[in-house]
Structure 1
Amino acid sequence: MRLKFIPPQLPTLHAKPPEGDDWSHEVKFDGYRSQMVIDEDGTRIYTRRGLDWTSKYRDLAAAAASLGAESAIIDGEIIVLNEAGLSDFAALRKAITRRQHDLYFVAFDVLHLDGHDLRSMGCEDRREILEGMIPPAIRIQFSQALPGDAQAIYHLVDQAGLEGMVSKRKDSKYRSGDSRDWWKIKCYEVEEFDLLGVEREPGKPAFALMADRATGRYVGSAFVNSSQAIRERLWKRVQEHAGPAPKGVKRPATQWVKPGLIGRVKHLRGEEDLRHASLQDFREE
C-alpha cells in the first residue's frame, strides 16, 4: 500500500518550559522539518508542507534501507552540523545542493510502521519504538530525550548556543496541526544591527527598525522597552541624525535616521528575521 504524507504536529511557542514529570524534552534543531515515507515504492522525503523533495535528499533516502521497515512514516528534521557540532541553518541550504553527504535526518516520532497506524499511541511509546528501529552510525539519527529538570535543561541548551528545546506530553497522541501537547521554548541572543529609524505613534509602543550590518537588509523591528534614560537618549540621537526615508518605503509614523546608529537587540535565536525582539541599548559608530 502506498502511504500518503500526513501534515505534521506543530509545537506552540512558549516563553518557559512546562513544569512537572508528564513531559519529555528534546533539543530543538535548526533545520528543515521533514517527513520520511517508506513503502513498496521506496523512500520519499517530504517538506513540512508536503512537497516531495526526495531528489534533494537522495543520500538520506538511500539510508532509510538500514531501518529494516517494510513501511513507515517518520517525523524529523533535516540538519547539517557546523564545526562546533551545532545544527546550522545557513549552511544547510548550501549542503543540500553541494554536499548531500553532510546531511542528517534527526528522527523524533513515528506515525506508521509496517501497516500499523501508531498515532493514537502515547508519544513516549511511539518514540521507544522509533529508537529501536534506528541502527548506529547511519545518517538517520534518533532525537534523544534530555534527562533532568526542564529549567535546568533549558539553561544548558541556552549555554550551548542551541536554538531551543521542545517539550512533549509523554502520553499525548499524534495530531496534525498546532498542538498544546508539544511546546517549543526558544533561546534568546543579543546582536548588533544598524538602526534605520524609530516608529512612534501616539498611544502605541515604539519600535526600532533594524537592518543586518553586513548586507543592509531590513530584518524587522524591535520593541523599545529600555530604561527611560536610554529612551530619552535615543529620541535625542534620532532627531539629531534625522535622514530621508528609503526609496519606495511609506511609513509616516517613522523617523528615519542617517547611517551610524547601532542598536543592541535581544531576539529569538535561530530566526531569519527578528522575532520577539527588544532594543537593549544603542551606540554611535
Structure 2
Amino acid sequence: MKYDGFRLIARRTADGITLTTKQGSDFSDRYSLIVGAIAKLKVNSICIDGEAMCFTGADQDFDKLWSRKHDDEVRLCAFDLLELNGIDLRGLPLLERKKQLFKVIRRSVGIEFVEHLAGDGPTIFAKACGLGYEGIVSKRADRPYQSGETRIWLKTKNPAHPAMQRVMDAFESERRRAR
C-alpha cells in the first residue's frame, strides 16, 4: 500500500534517535510517539524505512498530519528494515528484511508493521483504492533494497485520492505564477 504521509528514515544509534525526511529535514523533535517507540526497541541500533502517518479512526488523515496539531499522535508505518544491530540488511531480499522488521517491532506502540501483499497487482490496486489508500508500491519480494527511483519497484497512484488533487493544485498554482 502507498500511504499518504511523510516518508521517514527512523534511525537509532549510540548517538541517539533521528527521524529524517526524504528531503533531509530532521523531524526528531516533532514525533514523540515514534521516538519513544524506537527508544523502547530491544536493539543496539536500527534503521527503519517508513511513513509518518496520522489517523482518524482507521482512516489516514493527511490534513491532521499536516496541521502539526496532532504531532503527538503520529505513528510510523514501517515497511522496510535497512540496518539492525550494526548489520547492513539492504542486500537481503525484501521478505527477509520484513520478517526481521516484524520480529523487532511487533509489540511496539507507535510503530505499525506494513505487510507485503503478494498477488495480482491490478486486483490489489483496486482494493487499495476502494479502501482509500493513495495507491500501491509494487516491489519484488526477492530483491535487495534500492533507494530512489528504480526499475525494480513501481508506484501506482490512485487518481481519486486527495493527494492527487494536492499535486494538481500545486501544479496549477505554479503555472499561474509563471504567467
TM-score with structure 1 length normalisation? 0.55
Between the aligned partners of 1:56 and 1:75, the Cα distance in structure 2 is 17
Query: Which stretches of structure 1, 4 residues or more, deviate above 4 A after TM superposition?
Result: none
Q: Are 1:149 and 2:120 matched, yes or no?
A: yes
Task: Please name the residue that 1:274 is paired with.
Answer: 168
Between the aligned partners of 2:158 and 2:28, the Cα distance in structure 1 is 31
Larger CA Rg, structure 1 vs 2: 1
TM-fit CA distance, 1:77:
0.2
- Letter aligned with residue 90 of structure 1: D
Task: Please name the residue that 1:181 is paired with.
Answer: 152
Q: What secondary structure is seen at the aligned counterpart in 2 of 1:107?
A: strand
Q: What secondary structure is seen at the aligned counterpart in 2 of 1:75?
A: strand
For residues 45-84 of structure 1, give each alpha carbon's deviation from its aligned partner in whole angstroms, at most 9, with x where no partner exists: 111122222111123111112321110111000000124x
Q: Which runs of 5+ in 1 are unaligned?
A: 1-26, 190-267, 276-285
Q: Which runs of 5+ in 2 are unaligned?
A: 170-179
Between the aligned partners of 2:25 and 2:140, the Cα distance in structure 1 is 28
Greater helix fraction, Structure 1 or Structure 2: 2
Give percent identity, aligned residues only. Answer: 32
Between the aligned partners of 1:176 and 1:143, the Cα distance in structure 2 is 18
Q: What secondary structure is seen at the aligned counterpart in 1 of 2:152?
A: strand
Between the aligned partners of 2:158 and 2:69, the Cα distance in structure 1 is 30
Between the aligned partners of 1:88 and 1:57, the Cα distance in structure 2 is 16
Between the aligned partners of 2:133 and 2:115, the Cα distance in structure 1 is 15
- Letter aligned with residue 150 of structure 2: S
Conservation of the 8 A alpha-carbon contact between 2:134 and 2:157 = yes
Structure-2 change in CA distance of 1:161 and 1:99 (3 Å): closer
Between the aligned partners of 1:273 and 1:35, the Cα distance in structure 2 is 23
What are the within-5 Å matches in structure 2 for residues 57-136 of structure 1? 57-83=31-57, 85-94=58-67, 97-136=68-107
Conservation of the 8 A alpha-carbon contact between 2:78 and 2:114 = yes
TM-score with structure 2 length normalisation? 0.86
Between the aligned partners of 1:166 and 1:56, the Cα distance in structure 2 is 26
Between the aligned partners of 2:38 and 2:32, the Cα distance in structure 1 is 10
- Give the length in aligned residue pairs: 169
Between the aligned partners of 1:52 and 1:107, the Cα distance in structure 2 is 18
RMSD: 1.9
Conservation of the 8 A alpha-carbon contact between 1:186 and 1:269 = no
Between the aligned partners of 2:116 and 2:90, the Cα distance in structure 1 is 19
